Amino acid sequence: FTSAYTLSVTLENLTYVGTGDFTGTGNAAANVITGGAGNDTLRGGTGNDTIHGGDGDDTIAYAFGDGTDVLDGGLGLDTLDILGTAAANTVNAVVSGTALTSVMGLTPGGIERITLDLLAGVDSLSYGSTTSAVTVDLGAGTASGFTSIANIENVVGGSGNDTLADKAGVTNMLTGGGGNDTYFVHDTADVVIEAAGGGTDEVRSFANTYALANANVENLTFVGAGNFTGTGNASANTITGGAGSDTLSGGGGNDVLRGGAGNDALTGGAGFDVFVFAPSFGADTVADFDANPASGGQDEIDLVALGITNFAAQVHIDVGSFGGDAVLDTRVTIGAEIITLFSVTGVGANVVTQDDFILS
């Protein structure tokens, strides 16, 4: 009948038969702990326990080192609180749709709220066995299947189209798994990992400098403020800048570079690249335009968004020394906007023609 009770080492089962709220704690044995009609707080301990919340809004506490428990919240709005340790912890979770079906080998039944706090250490949350799309935001403390999460540094997605976001100011490791995954990063040091054949993936960067270090991540988009320096990899990347004066480099592969507004500096790198321009793009430069189709392909300038209907009247191409040296460059003028092409490769002095543009 007492409102709080802890089982001694020689007892296995605990049932509350009083009224009001109850705090019940098990021991190292395989306990059966049953709450009452109040708002109870129950913990089984290190054995493989069975816990019944009963009526009321109950809280079931579970810590690393506890056994493989059978949990039933019963009626009411019940909560499972999972607590880590100071060591490096890994929590394996499986969700179906938005519902958590398994966590750390536990199958929560009749539990509406699940919180996860892994405390100190470099800790990981893994959805490696999940086929549904999952969303994890380490900064907001939210994750699929959980009411809240805290003190987690690394996340592993499943085989769905996952969305994984870091926590600003913390170095995080985000691993997508299969599917077309989207990553939000605030820090240059954040690590994004994708395996080969893992879908078409995108990093959306709040950081003003970010490079796609993993060869299996295809796309990079700047979503922050100010100027951006974005660097691709050996894959076919799509790299998109923002409203500032950005510096974008494609690296290897057949890349698509979108500078956006501002005076951007674009470098395609190896491969046959496409440079995309939209209205009010500013005064941009392209460092390495390949206008030589004899090489098996060539770079192209995409003006589709500008709605060019009369190329000869709307697009003006000049050749001159626009880079402050004696080397001839090509300047493309469209209204008040200018594209300067440095180091143009091709045949002849004026190698850039209408054939080098995508208009529709």
Q: 203-244: per-residue pLDDT in tens?
A: 999 999 999 999 999 999 999 999 999 999 999 999 999 999
In a domain, 167, yes or no: yes
* φ/ψ (deg, to 5) at 110: 65, 25
pLDDT of 81 > 90? The answer is: yes
In a domain, 187, yes or no: yes
pLDDT of 296 > 80? The answer is: no
In a domain, 100, yes or no: no
* Same domain flag for 292 and 329: yes
Q: Report pLDDT for 107.
A: 87
Whose tokens are 């995080």? That residue is 172
Last residue of a domain, one of 33, 60, 77: 77
* Same domain flag for 341 and 207: yes
Residues 310-338 pLDDT 10s: 999 999 999 888 877 767 889 999 999 99
pLDDT of 347 > 60? The answer is: no
Contact indicator for 277, 257 with CB cutoff of 8 Å = no
The neighbouring-strand residues paired with 4 are: 23
Q: Report pLDDT for 323.
A: 74
Instruction: Provide, rounded to the nearest whole percent, the portion of the chain with pLDDT above 90.
Output: 85
Domain encompassing residue 19:
1-77
pLDDT of 37 > 70? The answer is: yes
Q: CA 140, CA 359: separation in Å to the nearest integer? A: 43
Last residue of a domain, one of 32, 60, 77: 77
* Same domain flag for 345 and 241: yes
pLDDT of 349 > 60? The answer is: no
Mean pLDDT of 240-257: 97
Mean pLDDT of the chain: 94
Instruction: Report yes or no on whether pTM surpasses 0.95.
Output: no
Q: CA 303, CA 352: separation in Å to the nearest integer? A: 14
* Same domain flag for 54 and 155: no
In a domain, 93, yes or no: no
Give the total number of structural domains in the chain: 3
Q: Report pLDDT for 343.
A: 83
pLDDT band at 166 (very low <50, low <70, confident <90, very high): very high
DSSP code string of 291-324? --GGGS---EEE-GGGT-S-HHHH-EEEEE--SS
In a domain, 53, yes or no: yes
Mean pLDDT of 33-59: 95
Q: CA 296, CA 204: separation in Å to the nearest integer? A: 32
Mean pLDDT of 75-102: 94
pLDDT of 350 > 70? The answer is: no
Of residues 24 and 292, which shows the higher confidence score?
24
Mode of pairing for the β-strands spanning 135-137 and 283-286? unpaired
* Same domain flag for 210 and 184: no
In a domain, 54, yes or no: yes
Q: Give the pair of three-digit tokens for residue 288.
A: 């390495």
Q: CA 49, CA 12: separation in Å to the nearest integer? A: 9
In a domain, 84, yes or no: no
Last residue of a domain, one of 167, 195, 223: 195
